[in-house]
Structure 1
Amino acid sequence: MYNWEKSFQKWQSFQELDHSLRQKLTTMQDDPTALEDAFYKELTFGTGGMRGVLGPGTNRMNIYTVRKAVNGLANYLLENTVNVKDRGVVVAYDSRYMSQEFAVETAKVLGAYGIKTHVFESLRPTPLLSFAVRYFGTVAGVMITASHNPPEYNGFKVYNEDGGQITPSQAAQIIEEIQKTEDELSVPFMEKEEVEKEELLDWIGKEVDNAYLEQLKLISKLSMEEQEKEKDLGIVFTPLHGAANDLVVNGLDQLHFNQLHVVEKQAVPDPEFSTVDSPNPEEHQAFTMAIEHGKEVDADILLGTDPDGDRLGVAAKNSAGEYQVLTGNQLGALLLDYLLSHSNQAVLKSGRMLKTVVTSELGRAIADAYQVKTINTLTGFKYIGEKIHEFDATGETFIFGYEESYGYLISSICRDKDAVQAAVMASEMAHYWKQQGKTLLEALEGLYEQHGYFLEGMSSLTLKGKAGTEKIASIMEAFRSEPLESIATYQVEKVEDYLTGERKILGELEEKTETIELPKENMLKFILPNDSWVTLRPSGTEPKIKCYYGVCTDSKEESKRKLAVLKETMDQKIAAILN
C-alpha cells in the first residue's frame, strides 16, 4: 500500500527541494485533504505520457515527477533503440506555466546519459514536434503541453521515432522503466550550463518551421497558378493564447489568403488563457472574440486552434448571417469530401480513411461513395498514427484521418493531429465553396441530403480526485455487469466491450460473440438500429467520464429528437448509479 504521509515527509525533509515547491508545500501543511491528493499516488504515466495539476507532490506535475519520467524514458531508449546518443531526442513546448522549464529539465536528465537533446528556442505547436522527430531522425520526441486543460495543468507527452504518439506496448515498457526509479528526488541530471557546454543541448531556431512550411504548401489541392492568386475569402483566426499563431499565419500567407485577420489579444501567449473560460475550440465560448471580430470585418470563416495547436475549430455563416461553429464531425466530413473530390481516382483505389470508433459514421458514408475503405481505430490519434506507420509497409495510401474532438490530419508529414494543416485546408475548402456560391454550412447540408442526417453528441461528467476516480470506475462496472438491452425505445443490437475485446450480437435467436480486432481499452459501445450508437468511456487525460452518441435519420428534426432522447436516457441511468 502506497503511504502518502511517508512520501510527504520525504519531500518535506529533502534539503535541496526546489524553493517554490517548498513554499507551496508549507501553505498546504494544515490541509490534510490537499496533501493526501498531492501524495496519495504517483502521477499516472498513461498510454501517451502524463498530465496533471502543477504543484508539489508525487501526484503533481513538477520538476521531480518530470525528471523521473525522463529517467525512465532514457533507460527505455538506451535499451530499445539504436544510436541513441547521436540521434538524440527533440523537445517542444507550448505557452503553459513551467513548459520551458520542463523542456530544459528533460535535456538535463537526458544529458546525464550522454543523450543529445534538440529543444526549440521558443514555443511551438505539437504537430511541429511530430514533424521535427522525422526531420531530425531522432529516437523520440517530447511535447510539454496539457493541450486545452485548465491553466493549472501541464503535461509530458512522448513520441516515438516515427513521429507518432507512443503505442500502448511502448508506453508499457517506458512505464516499467519509470517504476524502477524509486526516488524521484534523486534522479541524476546535469546543470543546464554543463549540458550546453558539452553540446548535449541544441537550441532549434526557424530551420524546422521553414521545412514544415515547404511541405505544407505541397498539401494544397490548388494548381500552382491558383496558389499564386489572391483569395477572396475573409478569415478571422485566433490561436487562443497558444503556440500555433506563426505557422498558421505563414501557411495561409504562402497560399495568398491576404484577407486574414488575427484576434490580436488572443495571439499573445498567456498561460492563464485570460480572455476565455477554456482555451478549447470544442467549446463555443472560445470563439466569442473571434465572432465579434468576424462581424467587424465581415469574415467568411473563423478559425480557432487550441494551446498546443493540434485541434482546430471552424465557424461559418448560417442563413441568418450569424456565425455557427461546426462540430468536429461536421468539419471532418467536409474536409474528407473536399479532399476525395479533388484527388486522383487512381490514388483512391489504395486509399484509406482513418477515424475513431466514436467519430461520425457520415465519414464512412462519404468514403464509401468514393470507393475508399474506412478503418476504425480506438479513441486517440496515436492509433491513427500507428495505422499510418503500418501503411508504410503494406502499400496502402493514407488519405485522411480524424476524430470527433477536432483533430485532423491531411498529410503524413506529421503522425499526429495537425491544426495547422487543417486550418490551411479548411480555408482552401471554404474558398472553393465560395467560388461555387456556397458557404461551408450549405456544403454540409448537401452532404446530409446525399448521405442522411448524421448527428452526434457528447456529454461528460467531471469527477475529480480519488473519490471521483472511484465513482467513474463504479459507473463503468455497473454498465459492464448489466449491459443494456435497450436505450429508451431503441433495441441494442450489439454490445462492444473494448476491455474484454468482445462484441456480443443480441437478438431473438442465440447470442453470438465476435472478437474486436483492436487493442484493449476501458470502453463500452452499444450499437442501435440505423447507424445509431452510444459509447461510454473514461477520459484518458481528464477526470471525466464521457458518453458519446450518434444517430442517422431522414430529417434533421428527427435526428435531433432521437439524439436528445438517447442523451436524456443515459444521463438518467448514470445519475441513478451515482445515487
Structure 2
Amino acid sequence: MTSWQKVYEKWLGYQNLDPALKENLEELKDDHEALEDAFYKELTFGTGGMRGVLGPGINRMNIYTIRKAVNGLANYILENTVNVKDRGVVVAYDSRYMSQEFAVEAAKVLGSYGIKAYVFESLRPTPLLSYAVRYLGTVAGIMITASHNPPEYNGFKVYNEDGGQITPDQAADIVSYIQNTEDELLVPVMERSELEQKELLNWVGQEVDHGYLERLQSITKLDEEARKKEKDLRIVFTPLHGTAHDLVMSGLEQLNFNNVEVVKEQAKPDPEFSTVASPNPEEHQAFTMAIEQGEKTDAAILLGTDPDADRLGVAVKNKSGDYQVLTGNQLGALMLDYILSHSDPMVLKSARMIKTVVTSELGRAIADAYNVKTINTLTGFKYIGEKIHQFDATGETFVFGYEESYGYLISTFVRDKDAVQAAVMASEMAYYWNGKGKTLLEALEVLYEEHGYYMEGMSSLTLKGKEGTEQIAAIMEAVRNNPITKIADLKVEVAEDYLQSERKFLTSKAEAETIQLPKENMIKLILEGECWVCLRPSGTEPKIKYYYGVCGESKQDSERKLTLIKHAMDEMIEQIRTKR
C-alpha cells in the first residue's frame, strides 16, 4: 500500500469524519487518479497561506486542513507574540462555499487554546480584515478566501499583527508548527455554544466598517469645496458576486458621487459566480454586463472588483466610443501620477513608491519625474506591506504601492492591496480629468508622450495535478540551467535568478551581484532596448506565468516588440515541454 493510500484509508476509517466529506469519499472510491491527487501530498501552505479545491483529503480545502493550519498558527502566536489570549485573532470570510463554516472552525480551534476569536457576522472584503487587525489590536488575522479562483476553490490567508500578509520568514515558522500537528483529524476543537458562553467567540458587526470608512475619507486629493460638491460623473460598478458592494458604495457616497449604478445581476454574493466565466477583473469578459449597462447610461467609468475586493479593474471609453479595460499597469500609472501631482512637494522629499519587479517601468519613470524614489519588491503585496512596516522605523513616506495584477494601495491604514480605496480613487481621478476635458485614456496618452511608450503583457499556462506540478518545475529548471542569450533577436543583457539571489551581466565584464531580496523561484531576463521577460510559477494556482515588457519609440513600435517577445516566449516554453 502506497503512502497516499494509507492516508486515504485512515480518513475512510475515521468514525467521526464529517458526513459530507465521508459521502464525497464514497463517491470517489473508484477514481484512483482523483484520490491520489487528494491524498498524495498536504495542501501547500505558501508564503501567505493556502488555497485549494474543496473536498476530502490532505491536498484539499476542508474543515480538517483548516483545523490543522489554525492549530499551527495558534501554537506559533502563543510562543512568538505577547498577550495572545487577551488580544485574540480576527477572522473574516468572503462569499465562497464553506467560507463561514471555515471561519467558525478557526474560532473553534483557537478557543481550545483559550484564544479569543473575533469573527465577522457576515462576509467582508480582505482589505477590511487587514484594517480590522490594526483597529482591534489583534495578534493576527485570518481571511477565508480564494480571491478570484474558480468556484470549486477556497483558501486561508494569514495576516500578522501589523495587518500585512505574513512574511516568508513568518510563513516558514508557521509551517513548522503546522507540521508538528501529527493528525489533522484529531485537532482539538471547542464547540460553538461553549465558545460563545466563555466569550471566546465574539461576533463583529458594523463598528470596524465605520472606522474604515472614516479613514477612507482621508485618501482624497480634492479640496474641501470639491469634496462637498455633488458629482454627476456616471459610474457603473460591479462587485462580481463578491464582498465589495457596501464599502465601495459608501466610499463613493462620502465623496458625493451620486450617479452610481450597480450591475444588479452581479450585486448579490454568489459562490458560483454564475454570470461570469471567471470573477477576475483582470479578464475582460468579467466586464461584459458592466459594459452593456454602461452603454445604456453612457457611463464615464466602469469599476469591477474581485470577490474578496482586493483587486480593481477599470474600463473607460476610447476614441471609437467603445469601452476599453485598462491594464493594471496603466491604471497604476494613472493613479500614481494623479497622487504625486496633487501632493505637497515637501512630503515628496521623503516619499517612496513601491512596485513589484514585474510591474511596468512606466511607474518608475513617473516617480522619477517627481523626484520620488521607487522601491522594487518581489511579486506579492506581502512584500509591499513589509516595506511599509519598515518605513514606520525609517521615517520614509509611503505614497503609493501597486502591482500589475490589479492590486493597489493608497493609504497605509490598510496593509494589503485594497480595491475599495482604489475604486474611490479611480472615480475621483476620472472626475478630475473629466473636468479637464479628458478621459483616462487621453490622460494616459499624455503620460506615454512624456515618459515613453511602455507596454506589458503576461501569459500563463495552467498545468493541473501532480504531473502539472512536475512540468512547471521542469520548465523553470530548463531556463535556469540553460542560459538564454537572445529572445526575439534582442540580446539578453542581464539575467536575474531570484532563487539563487544572483544578478549576472551577460554583455559586459561586470561581476555578478547579489540580489538583496528574499529568495523566490523566479527568473527575470533584461533585454536590450528597455525590454524584459520574467518567468514565475504562481504561488496560488497551478500555473506558470511569464511576463514581458517593452518601451518603444511609438505605440506601434511597442506593440510590435511586445508581439515578437510573446511569440518567442510561447515557442520557448512549448519546446521545453515537448522535450520532456
Partner-residue secondary structure (3-state), 2:503: strand
Q: CA deviation at 1:567?
A: 0.6
Partner-residue secondary structure (3-state), 1:491: strand
1:454 aligns with: 454
Amino acid at match of 2:73: L
1:577 aligns with: 576
For residues 423-481 of structure 1, what are the alpha-carbon distances to aligned partners after superposition, in whole Å with 9 as ceiling and x for unaligned?
00000000000000000000000000000000000000000000000000000000000
1:6-21 mapped onto 2 (5 Å cutoff): 6-21=6-21
Aligned residues: 578
Distance, in Å, in 1 between the alignment partners of 2:101 and 2:529 is: 51
Amino acid at match of 2:230: E
Does the CA-based 8 Å contact 1:506-1:512 persist in structure 2? no
1:524 aligns with: 523
For residues 74-132 of structure 1, what are the alpha-carbon distances to aligned partners after superposition, in whole Å with 9 as ceiling and x for unaligned?
00000000000000000000000000000000000000000000000000000000000
1:153-302 mapped onto 2 (5 Å cutoff): 153-302=153-302
Distance, in Å, in 2 between the alignment partners of 1:2 and 1:488 is: 47
Distance, in Å, in 2 between the alignment partners of 1:549 and 1:483 is: 18
Distance, in Å, in 2 between the alignment partners of 1:310 and 1:190 is: 32
For residues 489-524 of structure 1, what are the alpha-carbon distances to aligned partners after superposition, in whole Å with 9 as ceiling and x for unaligned?
1000000000000000011x5362001010000000
Partner-residue secondary structure (3-state), 1:493: strand
Distance, in Å, in 2 between the alignment partners of 1:556 and 1:206 is: 48
1:396 aligns with: 396
Amino acid at match of 1:20: A
1:306 aligns with: 306
Q: TM-score, normalised by structure 1?
A: 0.99
Amino acid at match of 1:367: A
1:88-99 mapped onto 2 (5 Å cutoff): 88-99=88-99
Task: Tell me whether 1:5 sits opposite 2:5 in the alignment.
Answer: yes
Amino acid at match of 1:569: A
Q: CA deviation at 1:232?
A: 2.4
1:416 aligns with: 416
Does the CA-based 8 Å contact 1:108-1:195 persist in structure 2? yes
Amino acid at match of 2:484: L
Question: Percent sequence identity over matched residues?
Answer: 74
Partner-residue secondary structure (3-state), 2:272: coil
Partner-residue secondary structure (3-state), 1:512: coil
1:51-62 mapped onto 2 (5 Å cutoff): 51-62=51-62
Distance, in Å, in 2 between the alignment partners of 1:413 and 1:290 is: 30
More moved, 309-318 vs 529-538:
529-538
Amino acid at match of 2:153: Y
Partner-residue secondary structure (3-state), 2:535: strand
Q: TM-score, normalised by structure 2?
A: 0.99
Distance, in Å, in 2 between the alignment partners of 1:422 and 1:538 is: 27
Q: CA deviation at 1:183?
A: 0.2
Distance, in Å, in 2 between the alignment partners of 1:419 and 1:117 is: 26
Q: CA deviation at 1:224?
A: 1.6
1:556 aligns with: 555
2:116 aligns with: 116
Distance, in Å, in 2 between the alignment partners of 1:526 and 1:161 is: 36
Amino acid at match of 1:272: E
Amino acid at match of 2:423: A
Partner-residue secondary structure (3-state), 2:26: helix
Amino acid at match of 2:522: M
Runs of 4+ in 1 over 3 A off after TM superposition: none
Task: Tell me whether 1:539 sits opposite 2:542 in the alignment.
Answer: no
Distance, in Å, in 2 between the alignment partners of 1:134 and 1:561 is: 47
Partner-residue secondary structure (3-state), 1:216: helix
Distance, in Å, in 2 between the alignment partners of 1:490 and 1:300 is: 40
Does the CA-based 8 Å contact 1:96-1:151 persist in structure 2? yes
Distance, in Å, in 2 between the alignment partners of 1:155 and 1:223 is: 41
Distance, in Å, in 1 between the alignment partners of 2:285 and 2:487 is: 31
Distance, in Å, in 2 between the alignment partners of 1:197 and 1:228 is: 47
Partner-residue secondary structure (3-state), 1:149: coil
Partner-residue secondary structure (3-state), 2:189: coil
Amino acid at match of 1:109: V
Amino acid at match of 1:521: E
For residues 325-366 of structure 1, what are the alpha-carbon distances to aligned partners after superposition, in whole Å with 9 as ceiling and x for unaligned?
000000000000000000000000000000000000000000
Distance, in Å, in 2 between the alignment partners of 1:483 and 1:127 is: 41
Amino acid at match of 1:424: V
Task: Tell me whether 1:431 sits opposite 2:431 in the alignment.
Answer: yes
Amino acid at match of 2:138: T
Task: Tell me whether 1:34 sits opposite 2:34 in the alignment.
Answer: yes
Distance, in Å, in 2 between the alignment partners of 1:304 and 1:469 is: 31
Q: CA deviation at 1:2?
A: 7.8
Partner-residue secondary structure (3-state), 2:302: strand
Distance, in Å, in 2 between the alignment partners of 1:213 and 1:4 is: 49
Does the CA-based 8 Å contact 1:2-1:41 persist in structure 2? no
1:349-498 mapped onto 2 (5 Å cutoff): 349-498=349-498
Distance, in Å, in 1 between the alignment partners of 2:212 and 2:477 is: 46
1:335 aligns with: 335
Distance, in Å, in 1 between the alignment partners of 2:386 and 2:529 is: 30
User: Once superposed, what is the RMSD of the aligned Cα atoms?
Assistant: 0.8
Does the CA-based 8 Å contact 1:291-1:302 persist in structure 2? yes
Does the CA-based 8 Å contact 1:2-1:40 persist in structure 2? no
For residues 291-335 of structure 1, what are the alpha-carbon distances to aligned partners after superposition, in whole Å with 9 as ceiling and x for unaligned?
000011110000000000000000001001110000000000000
Amino acid at match of 2:415: R
Partner-residue secondary structure (3-state), 2:496: strand
Distance, in Å, in 1 between the alignment partners of 2:314 and 2:330 is: 10
| Consecutive unaligned residues in structure 1, runs of 5 or more | none
